[in-house]
């Protein structure tokens, strides 16, 4: 029986999560679109980047602390918004938020979460750096209400995802017949019978639907009506004028997620974003797109210090966080690493994932000759192993 004490890396947590989470929900988190080439490239291109080891350097008094859009964070990491987190582990978003609160990093709740904005606020304290992620929907009235709910719940930043105007073709989800709650097909029933711990925990909670939407959107009172609503709600007409509308509705810190081109980064700065996330949606949208780390340097060069540039995609270790930071990312979003920890051991697993990442970041930074993350730049990297902005 695997134990938390034996988990030494994120891959250890992934293996346990795969054995404990029903296939349809594990595959939802651990897959990409189409051929999954971009999904795999996110990890592969990070691993190509090599560090320069320094010796005879005082390694005492190390710090990985930073600020993210003005808020203190234990390291340049925040928990990314992940849909259906509450299907990885019962009440999963609450458990992940509690782990983030104790660790001192921000937690971002997805619009498509199982636990609601209000659930998170009720089960955490004001110490939590609580952010909310929003999709652009056709129903502007519903969006305005959701933004107001996030404000009322104490969210200090809004993360607007820009790369989901249409949904990428995710073959595993199609084959699994992904639904929440699980669709009672023969294959899914057989698989659920092999996950008794998961089934028992789900039987003990009332949180089984998309609680940010059910009961909050006109005409959506159950999963059937929700499915009909969401199928027509992602807005393919998204424009920068819509982003201005969201910023005016919100009035607080605005983070734009899904930027992969320097021109879009410049537009984000012009339209008042406080931060952008260089992201290809974890390889779940446009297959064949570059890895996030490949797009990062050109975007950093394009916007300079006009806003904060962060990155997500493929981060499975503290070394990956260090690589992104060295190339100019002032923060990173971690999704799958959190999901693996949650699916494996619940809240304790998320805490373990964060501890693993910080330990790897801290030690690797020291081996590269630094004791403070704020002093790290690309000089810690071996030339020729990392991407650079085109000249």
pLDDT digit string, tens, across residues 8-50: 999 999 999 999 999 999 999 999 999 999 999 999 999 999 9
The candidate with the shortest Cα–Cα distance to 81, out of 324, 310, 373, is: 310
Q: Is 219 annotated as a binding residue?
A: no
Q: Is 328 annotated as a binding residue?
A: no
> What mean pLDDT do residues 118-147 have?
95
Domain annotation covers residue 23: yes
DSSP class per residue in 283-341: GTSSTTPPPHHHHHHHHHHHHTTSSEEEEESS--SHHHHHHHHHTT-SEEEE-HHHHHH
Domain annotation covers residue 388: no
Q: Rounded to 5 degrees, what angle do the CA atoms 151, 156, 158 make? A: 75
- Name the residue range of residue 71's domain: 4-380
pLDDT attached to residue 1: 80
Domain annotation covers residue 313: yes
pLDDT band at 218 (very low <50, low <70, confident <90, very high): confident
Q: What percent of the chain has pLDDT over 90?
A: 84
The answer to whether the Cα torsion of 76, 81, 84, 90 is positive or negative is: positive
pLDDT attached to residue 207: 95
Q: Please give the mean pLDDT across all residues of the chain.
A: 94
Q: Is 317 annotated as a binding residue?
A: no
CATH number at residue 202: 3.20.20.70
Q: Is 133 annotated as a binding residue?
A: yes
Per the structure, how many domains does the chain have?
1
Domain annotation covers residue 386: no
Instruction: Say whether 351 sits in a helix, a strand or coil.
Output: helix
> What mean pLDDT do residues 338-344 have?
98
CB 169 within 8 A of CB 36: no
Q: Is 284 annotated as a binding residue?
A: yes
pLDDT attached to residue 227: 60
The torsion region of residue 388 among left (phi > 0), alpha (psi -120 to 50) and beta comes to beta
CB 312 within 8 A of CB 291: no
Q: From the candidates 95, 208, 281, 370, which is the catalytic residue? A: 281
Residue 81, pLDDT > 60, answer yes
pLDDT band at 73 (very low <50, low <70, confident <90, very high): very high
Catalytic residue flag (residue 281): yes
Q: Is 279 annotated as a binding residue?
A: yes
Domain annotation covers residue 385: no
CB 328 within 8 A of CB 300: yes
pLDDT band at 85 (very low <50, low <70, confident <90, very high): very high
Q: Is 170 annotated as a binding residue?
A: yes
Q: List pLDDT tens digits, range 162-211.
A: 998 888 889 998 888 887 667 778 898 999 999 999 999 999 999 998 89
Domain annotation covers residue 133: yes
């Amino acid at each position: 029986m695997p134990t938390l004490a034996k988990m030494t890396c994120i891959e250890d947590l992934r293996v346990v999560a795969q054995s404990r989470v029903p296939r349809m929900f594990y595959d939802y988190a651990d897959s990409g679109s189409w051929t999954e080439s971009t999904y795999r490239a996110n990890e592969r291109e990070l691993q190509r980047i090599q560090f320069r080891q320094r010796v005879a350097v005082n390694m005492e008094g190390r710090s990985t602390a930073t600020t993210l859009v003005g808020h203190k964070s234990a390291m340049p990491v925040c928990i990314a918004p992940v849909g259906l987190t509450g299907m990885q582990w019962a009440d999963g978003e609450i458990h992940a938020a509690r782990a983030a609160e104790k660790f001192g990093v921000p937690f971002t709740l997805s619009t498509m979460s199982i636990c609601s904005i209000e659930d998170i606020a009720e089960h955490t304290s004001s110490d939590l750096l609580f952010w909310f992620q929003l999709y652009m929907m056709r129903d502007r009235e519903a969006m305005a209400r959701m933004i107001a709910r996030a404000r009322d719940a104490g969210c200090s930043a809004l993360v607007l995802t820009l790369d989901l105007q249409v949904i990428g073709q995710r073959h595993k989800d199609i084959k699994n017949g992904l639904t929440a709650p699980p669709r009672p097909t023969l294959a899914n029933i057989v698989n659920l019978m092999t996950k008794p711990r998961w089934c028992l925990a789900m039987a003990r909670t009332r949180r089984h639907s998309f609680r940010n939407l059910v009961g909050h959107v006109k005409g959506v009172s159950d999963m059937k009506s929700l499915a009909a609503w969401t199928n027509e709600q992602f807005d393919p007409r998204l424009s920068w004028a819509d982003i201005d509308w969201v910023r005016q509705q919100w009035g607080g810190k605005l983070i734009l997620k899904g930027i992969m081109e320097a021109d879009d980064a410049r537009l984000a700065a012009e339209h008042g974003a406080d931060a952008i996330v260089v992201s290809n949606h974890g390889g779940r949208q446009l297959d064949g797109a570059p890895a996030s780390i490949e797009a990062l340097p050109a975007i950093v060069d394009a916007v300079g210090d006009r806003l904060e540039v962060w990155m997500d995609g493929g981060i499975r270790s503290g070394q990956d966080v260090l690589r992104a930071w060295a190339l100019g990312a002032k923060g990173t979003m971690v999704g799958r690493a959190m999901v693996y920890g949650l699916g494996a051991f619940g809240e304790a697993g998320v805490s373990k994932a964060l501890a693993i990442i910080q330990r790897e970041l801290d030690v690797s930074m020291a081996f590269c000759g630094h004791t403070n993350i704020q002093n790290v730049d690309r000089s810690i990297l071996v030339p020729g192993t990392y991407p650079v902005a085109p000249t």
